[in-house]
Amino acid sequence: MMQIKVITTKDGSKSLYLPEMNETYHSKFGAKTESEHVFIQAGYRYISKSEIRILEIGFGTGLNVLLSLLEQTLNPKKIYYETLEKYQLPDAIIKDINKFEDEQLSTLFNQIHKAPWNKNVTINQNFILHKKHVDLQQYKSTTKFNLIYFDAFAPNKQPEMWTLEIFQKMYDALTENGVLVTYSAKGSVRRTMQAAGFTVERIQGPPGKREMLRAIKK
């Protein structure tokens, strides 16, 4: 496992920095702010269905799961949430980033991370979490998803995650009118998504980024 450093981003939320890759898990302008904008506002709230299946590419710190759980209390949906991660974080790092002042957030965060891998876990009566320890290239699923949180490392840091083959797999994993959201706005990423069959739109990005991408399987 490469060296990992816990950092505090501009909005006060924690993220991780990998010196070997010179890459952070989230935006330095705000980990929570970025995830709320990209995945909750542009993804979760965009889906009008009352029952949705979410696929997350990159479990990481578990922040997107936590924010989806919090959003569920405000915008109730019945959720099956499947999240993929090749590199699990050490317990010491997880403990170090669990610095929430709100006791409820801390409890939920622990519940998410203590949930066993590779099985369905009931977080609440309307939220099923399935954490899969798997490489995306080897991942196979018969489940069709309504929404994909595509949260891999940046294309220049992890180019194998942003290929035509990967986005064709994402396209096939979605239901008709299913949605994929990502923080990236690179022209090459947009064109690759289009080549895979997606209809892609540029929308306003989170702080520090002018744009992001939302792709729809029409």
Is the CB of residue 217 less than 8 Å from the CB of residue 47? no
CATH number of the domain encompassing residue 202: 3.40.50.150
Q: What pLDDT does 128 receive?
A: 98
Is the CB of residue 178 less than 8 Å from the CB of residue 211? no
Q: What is the per-residue pLDDT across 136-164, written as a single tens digit (0 to 9) for each?
A: 999 998 899 999 999 999 999 999 999 99
Q: Nearest-CA neighbor of 112 among 72, 149, 61?
A: 61
Residue 142 structural domain: 28-216
Does any domain span residue 22? no
Does any domain span residue 58? yes
Share of the chain above pLDDT 70, in %: 100
Does any domain span residue 16? no
Does any domain span residue 15? no
End-to-end Cα separation, the chain, in angstroms: 40
Q: Nearest-CA neighbor of 96 among 12, 7, 200?
A: 7
Q: What pLDDT does 101 receive?
A: 79
Q: What pLDDT does 81 receive?
A: 98
Give me the numbers of helices (H) and strands (E) for the chain, helices first please: 6, 11
Q: Tell the residue number behind the tokens 């520090």, with chain if given.
A: 208
Q: Which residues contact 53 (CB under 8 A, 6 or more apart)?
A: 79, 80, 81, 82, 143, 144, 145, 146, 147, 175
Q: Which residues contact 149 (CB under 8 A, 6 or more apart)?
A: 38, 39, 43, 54, 55, 56, 57, 58, 64, 181, 182
Does any domain span residue 4? no
Q: How many CB atoms lie within 10 A of CB 78?
A: 14
Does any domain span residue 94? yes
Structural domain tally of the chain?
A: 1
Does any domain span residue 6? no
d(CA 87, CA 93): 13
Q: What is the per-residue pLDDT across 64-96, written as a single tens digit (0 to 9) for each?
A: 999 999 999 888 899 999 999 998 999 999 999
Q: What pLDDT does 191 receive?
A: 98
pTM, two decimal places: 0.96
Q: Nearest-CA neighbor of 47 among 86, 93, 79, 15?
A: 79
Q: How far lies 98's CA from each of 119, 128, 134, 164, in Å?
A: 23, 22, 24, 36
d(CA 202, CA 145): 22
> Over 90: is that where the pLDDT of 1 sits?
no
Does any domain span residue 13? no
